[in-house]
Amino acid sequence: MSGGTLYDQVWERHRVTTLPNGQDQLCVGLHLVHEVTSPQAFSMLDERDLEVAFPDRTFATTDHIVPTTTDGRDRPLADDQAEEMLSALEENVDESGITFFGLDSDRQGITHVVAPELGLTQPGMTVACGDSHTATHGAFGAIGVGVGTSQIRDIFATGCIAAEKQQVRRIQVEGSLGDGVYAKDVILQIIRQLGVDGGVGHVYEYGGPAIRELDMEGRLAICNMSIEGGARAGYVNPDETTYEYLRGREYVPEGEEFEELKAYWESIKSDEDAEYDDVVTVDVDDLDPLVTWGINPGQVVELSDPVPAPGSFETETEQDAACRALDHMNLEPGDSMLGYDVDVAFLGTCTNGRVSDFRQAAAVLAGHTVADDVRALAVPGSETVRRTCEQEGIDEVFGEAGFEWRRAGCSMCLAMNDDSLVGDEVCASSSNRNFVGRQGSKEGRTVLMSPATVAAAAIEGEVADCRRFLDDSPAHTAAEDVSEVAD
Amino acid sequence: MDDPRITEVAGSGVPIYGDDVDTDRILPARFLKETTFENMADYLFYDARRDEDGFNDHPLNRFPDAEIAVVNENFGCGSSREHAPQAMLRWGIDGVVGESFAEIFADNCKSLGVPTATADAETVEDLQAWIEANPDGEIPIDVEAETVTYGGETVAVDIDDATREALVDGIWDTTALMRANVNRVAETAASLPYVD
Ligand code: SF4
C-alpha cells in the first residue's frame, strides 16, 4: 500500500474511480442511519425504483426524537411527528433488510455511541451518516463523514459517496493532562486555539503524547468535535489501545479472524515521514478545566481566566461574535465564569455520553447532592451504556445526588424531544454546541464543559472547579469506591 | 432513466420579487419534520402566499403554472435545507434566472438538475415586467449558449462553468454517475478486508 497519511491510505483503498465531474467515488464501509435524516432519502430511492445496495453494511438506530423517560417510550409516541418519523424508519429498514436497533432493542442509542461500542466502527474504514458528528468514528483511525440528504440517497443506491479530498492538518498535542482535566478540555482548547472555522477545507489528524495516553472514549470525544472546529473529519492513528478496545466486541470477529483483521488495521496508519499540509502544536501541560462563555464552541476560557473583551480578538467577525455572545450570556468582559449561576445540569450526548464520562462525573458527585434549584439530567448515550453504568452502581450515585437517570437518546443536546431548556435558563452541558436556541429555548444559555465539571456545577448551582471535589476527603474516599467498582 | 443532459429548459415565467429571499421564506422550518419531500410543493412560500383571508396575490398564486422563476439578489440565502429547491422543482419550476444566488442554494439546485442563470438587475427587472404583461409567454433558457429568450429578444446570461458543464454533459446526478460503476464498486468492496 502506498504511504502518506492514514487519510491518504484509507481514501486510496476506498476510491472506486474519479467521476466525470471531477469528484472521487468512494466506497462507504459503514453507513449509519437514524430517523431524522433518512426518510427523505428512502423516498427518493423509491421514486427511482432503486433498492439499498449494501444493507449488510448499513445499521440504523433511533436517537434524536426519542423520549428519555421509560413511560414516554410507549408507542405510539405522544408527539405525532416523532411517532411518524420513527414508524417511517421502522418500515424502511424492514423493507430494506437493514439491522435496526429500535426502541425495543437493548442496543438502541445515539449512532455515534452505538457503532463504536458494538465494534461496528473499525480502523481503516470509511463511515458515513446523515449527521454532522460522524467525525466521531475517526477515533479508531477510520474516516467518518457527515452527509446530506442527496448523499444518503447516493449511499443507499450505490454504497458510495462522491467527494473531494481535503487537506490534512496534523494537530500535535504535547504534554499530559492534570487531575480533573479531560479529553473534552483538550478539544475545547484546540477549537479555542484554531477557531471555529480554522478547519475549513481540512481533516484533522490528532496525535502526540497527550492523545496516545487517552483511552478510546477520550479519543471519541475529541474526534466528535472536529466539526465544531470547522474540519470535515478528524482521526487518531490506531494503536494497541484501539485494538484492545475492539477485542471481544459484538461485531468484531474472534480468534484467527481477529488476528487477520488486526493485521489490516495495523497496516493502515500515517507513515512516520508522511507529509502534512499543515502542522499545529497544542500544549496541554498545566491546562485548567475549560468552559465556554459564549455562543460558539470556540468562545472558551480556562476557569482561572476572566471572560475576554471583544477588543482582544483580531478579526472584526470575532469581535462582533464576542459582543453578541456577551449580550446573550449576560456577561461583561473581565467577569469570571467561576460562580456563573446554573439552572440545569445535562450529562450525555455523542460527545460525552459514554461509560467513562459517567464514571468521571460520579467520582465528583459521590457523597454530594445537587443544589436545590438545579434540574439535573443524566442521559446515557446508549442503552448499553445505561446497563453498564447500572451494573457498576453508577446510576445510584447519580440518583442519590439528585440527578434524574434517564433512557438513551440525544435529549437536551438539541431538544427534539421533551427535554428542553425553558426561558433564559443556564445549562451546564457536556454536549458539543452552545448555539443560540440549540437546547430548545431561544433565550436559553449553554455552557459547554467536561462531565466532571457538569457534576461540580450541579452540586454548587454555579460553574465550579471539579478538582475541589476530587480532592476533598469524604468525597475523595467515596469517589475511589466508585472507581473501584468501575474497574 | 431519462437522458440526464439538460441543454434547455423552457416554460412560462413567474417573477418572485425581493432581495435576500431566504430558505425559511421559500420553505418554512416547521415543514422540515415531514418524512418525505413529496408534499413540499404544497409548502412552497407557504406563509408568503397567504394572509388572513386565504391566498393573497403572491406571484406564485397568480402564475401557478410557471416553469421559470425570475428572482432578484441573493436568492436562497440562510439555512442549507435541500427542501427549498425540492419544493420549487416539485411545484414545477425547471429553471431560475436571477441577479444572484446563495452558494449552497445554487449547489442544491445543480444536484437536482435545475439551472440557475444570473443576469444584471436591469435584465432581470425587464424580464419580470415582461412576464407580468405576458403571463403565458415562453421563456427558454439555453444552458449551453447561456442565453434567455423572451418576446423575440435573446439576452446573454451567466451560468457558472461547472454547473453548465454538469448539466449539458448530464453529469449532475451523482447517484446516476456512480451507478454507472457498479461493477467497480463490487471490486473495490471485495478488496476491503472487513467486507464479507
Ligand atoms: S447527541 Fe447531539 S450532536 Fe450528537 S447526534 Fe445527537 S443531536 Fe447530534
CB atoms within 10 A of CB B88: 26
The domain of B49 spans: 8-171
User: Where does residue A395 rank: exposed (0-12), middle (13-18), buried (19+ CB within 10 A)?
Assistant: buried
Q: What is the CATH number of the domain that holds B112?
A: 3.20.19.10
CB A275 within 8 A of CB A264: no
Opening angle at CA A289, ends A283 and A293, nearest 5: 105
Residue A21: list chain B partners with CB under 8 A: 162, 166, 171-172, 174, 177
Looking at the 3D structure of chain B, how many domains does it have?
1
Query: In this model, does residue A395 exceed pLDDT 90?
Result: yes
Q: Is B133 on the interface with A (CB under 8 A)?
A: no
To test the pocket of ligand 1, the residue of A432, A435, A438 to mutate (highest count of ligand atoms within 8 Å of its CB) is: A432
User: Which of A81, A148, A150 faces B33 most closely, judged by CB atoms?
Assistant: A81
Question: pLDDT band at A487, cuts 50/70/90?
Answer: very low
Whole-Å CA distances, A142 to A204, A219, B62, B126: 12, 12, 53, 54
Joined grid coordinates for residue B5: 443532459
Q: Could you give the maximum distance between any two Cα atoms of chain B, in Å?
A: 65
CA distance A42 to A65: 18
- CB-based burial of residue A317 (10 Å sphere; 0-12 exposed, 13-18 middle, 19+ buried)? exposed
Using most ligand atoms within 8 A of CB, pick from A136, A224, A414, A432 the residue to mutate for ligand 1.
A414
pLDDT exceeds cutoff 90 at A200: no
State yes or no: cis peptide before A333, omega within 30 of 0: no
| Residues of chain A found within 8 Å of residue B175, distances taken between Cβ atoms | 48, 50, 150, 153-154, 157-158
Distance CA B85, CA B97 (A): 14
The Cα B141–Cα B156 span in angstroms is: 10
* Higher-pLDDT residue of B78, A187: A187
* Cβ-Cβ contacts under 8 Å, B189 against chain A: 27, 54, 159
Task: Answer positive or negative: Cα dihedral of A117, A190, A427, A64.
Answer: negative
Q: Which of A265, A197, A207, A186 is nearest to A232 (CA)?
A: A197
Cα nearest neighbour of A46 on chain B: B36
Q: How far is B181 from chain A (nearest CA, A)?
A: 8
Of B37, B162, B177, the CB nearest to A19: B177
- DSSP-assigned letter for residue A29: S
What is the gyration radius of the CA atoms in chain B, in angstroms? 18
Protein residue with its CA nearest to atom 4 in ligand 1: A350
Q: What are the backbone dihedrals phi and psi of residue B151, each rounded to the nearest 5 degrees, phi first?
A: 55, 40
- Strands B116-118 and B54-55, how do they pair? unpaired
Question: CB of A238 within 8 Å of any CB in chain B?
Answer: no
Three-state DSSP at B14 gives: strand
Chain B contacts of A48, Cβ < 8 Å? 1, 175
* Ramachandran quadrant class, A119 (left: phi over 0; alpha: psi -120 to 50; beta: rest): left
B179 in a structural domain: no
* Topology, domain A167-283: Aconitase; Domain 2 (3.40.1060)
Nearest atom of ligand 1 to the alpha carbon of A348: 1
Contacts of B192 in chain A (CB under 8 A): 13-14, 27, 29
Dihedrals phi, psi of A473, to nearest 5 degrees: -70, -45
Residue B122 exposure: Cα atoms within 13 Å on the Cβ side: 2
The full length of chain B comes to: 196
Ligand 1: which of A114, A350, A352 to mutate, judged by most atoms within 8 Å of the beta carbon? Answer: A350
- Residue A344 Cα to ligand 1 middle (Å): 18
Residues 161-180 of A with CB under 8 A from B: 162
**Is A291-486 in the same CATH topology as A6-163?**
yes
- Within a domain: residue B185? no
Q: Which of B108, B135, B124 has the alpha carbon at shortest distance from B158?
A: B124
Average pLDDT over residues A323-335: 97
pLDDT at B30: 82
Radius of gyration of chain A (CA): 22
Q: Which of A65, A184, A131, A90 is nearest to A432 (CA)?
A: A184
- CA dist B98 → A78, A202, B123 (Å): 44, 33, 9
Which range among A23-27, A177-181, A212-216, A439-443 shows the weakest confidence by mean pLDDT?
Answer: A439-443
Residues lower than pLDDT 70 in chain B: 1
User: How many angstroms does the Cα of residue A389 sit away from the middle of ligand 1?
Assistant: 20
Ligand 1 center from residue A448 Cα (angstroms): 14
Mean predicted confidence (pLDDT) in A320-329 = 96
> 3-state SS of A351-386?
HHCCHHHHHHHHHHHCCCCCCCCCEEEEECCEHHHH
CA distance A213 to A331: 36
pLDDT of residue B1: 52
Amino acid code (one letter) for A154: D
Output the CA B33–ligand 1 centroid distance in Å: 17
Pairing type for strands A99-101 and A24-27 reads unpaired
Q: What is the DSSP letter of A22?
A: S
- B70 in a domain, yes or no? yes
Distance CA B81, CA A236 (A): 31
Please give the distance, rounded to the nearest whole angstrom, from the Cα atom of residue B40 to the centre of ligand 1. Answer: 26
CA distance A207 to A198: 18
- Inter-chain touch B38–A43, beta carbons under 8 Å: yes
Q: Is residue B1 part of a domain?
A: no
Per-residue pLDDT tens over the stretch A129-149 = 999 899 999 999 999 999 988
Query: At how many degrees (to 10) do helices A383-391 and A111-118 cross?
Result: 60
Is the distance from CB of A91 to CB of A98 less than 8 angstroms?
A: no
pLDDT tier, A476 (very low <50, low <70, confident <90, very high otherwise): very low
Residue A389: strand, helix, or coil: helix
Look at residue A454 and tell me whether its pLDDT is greater than 80.
Answer: yes
Beta bridge partners of A148: none
* Fold of the CATH domain A291-486: Aconitase; domain 3 (3.30.499)
**Architecture per CATH, A6-163:** 2-Layer Sandwich (3.30)
B190 in any annotated domain:
no
Torsion of CA A306, A310, A313, A316, to 10 degrees: 160
A99/B contact by beta carbon, under 8 A: no
Q: Residue A27: which of B37, B189, B193 has the nearest Cβ?
A: B189
| B2, part of any domain | no
Q: Which among B171, B175, B196 has CB closest to A20?
A: B171
- In this complex, do A17 and B184 lie within 8 Å of one another by their Cβ atoms? yes
Cα separation of A399 and A394, whole Å?
A: 9
Q: Which three cell numbers stand for residue B29?
A: 422550518
Residue A471 has pLDDT above 80, yes or no: no
Using DSSP, state whether A236 is helix, strand or coil.
strand
Which one, of B97, B85, B62, B72, lies nearest residue B18 by Cα?
Answer: B72
Cα torsion angle, A345, A348, A353, A359, sign:
positive
Whole-angstrom distance, CA of residue A242 vs CA of residue A303: 32
Q: What pTM does this model have? A: 0.90
Give the pLDDT confidence score for residue A408 in this predicted structure: 98
A283-313 pLDDT tens trace = 999 999 999 999 999 999 999 999 999 999 9
CB-based contact (8 Å) between B189 and chain A? yes
Please indicate, yes or no, if residue B91 is contained in any of the structural domains.
Answer: yes
- Contact status, residue A124 vs residue A71, Cβ threshold 8 Å: no
CA–CA separation, A373 and B176 (whole Å): 57
Q: How far is B134 from chain A (nearest CA, A)?
A: 35
Q: Do A150 and B111 touch (CB under 8 A)?
A: yes
Task: Note the pLDDT tens digit of each residue in B69-113.
Answer: 999 999 998 777 889 999 999 999 999 999 999 888 998 999 899
Rounded to the nearest whole angstrom, what is the distance from the C-alpha of residue B184 to the centroid of ligand 1? 35
Closest CA of chain A from B141, distance in Å:
22
Report whether pLDDT(A120) > 90: yes
When pLDDT is averaged across residues A451-461 and rounded to a whole number, the result is 98
Give the model confidence (pLDDT) of A62-86 as tens digits. 999 999 999 999 999 999 999 999 9
Q: How far apart are CA A402 and CA A398, in angstroms?
A: 6
ipTM of model: 0.89
Domain ranges of chain A: 6-163, 167-283, 291-486
Between chain A and chain B, the number of residue pairs with CB atoms below 8 A apart is: 97
Within 6 Å (CB) of ligand 1, which residues are found?
Answer: A 63-64, 110, 112, 131, 133, 349-350, 410, 413-414, 431-432
Strands (E), A335-467: 344-348, 375-379, 404-405, 426-429, 445-448
Residue A124 in grid coordinates: 481503516
Q: How confident is the model at residue A475 (pLDDT cuts 50, 70, 90)?
A: very low
> B195–A13: do the CB atoms touch at under 8 Å?
no
Residue A486's pLDDT is: 38
User: What's the mean pLDDT when you consider all of chain A?
Assistant: 94
Region of residue B159 (phi > 0: left; psi between -120 and 50: alpha; otherwise: beta): beta
Has residue B123 been placed in a domain? yes
Does A54 sit within 8 Å of B179, measured CB to CB?
Answer: no
State phi, psi for A344 to the nearest 5 degrees. -135, 140
Q: What is the pLDDT of residues A234-262, one digit of tens each?
A: 999 999 999 999 999 999 999 999 999 99
Query: Phi then psi for A192, rounded to 5 degrees?
Result: -60, -45
C-alpha cell at A42: 428512502
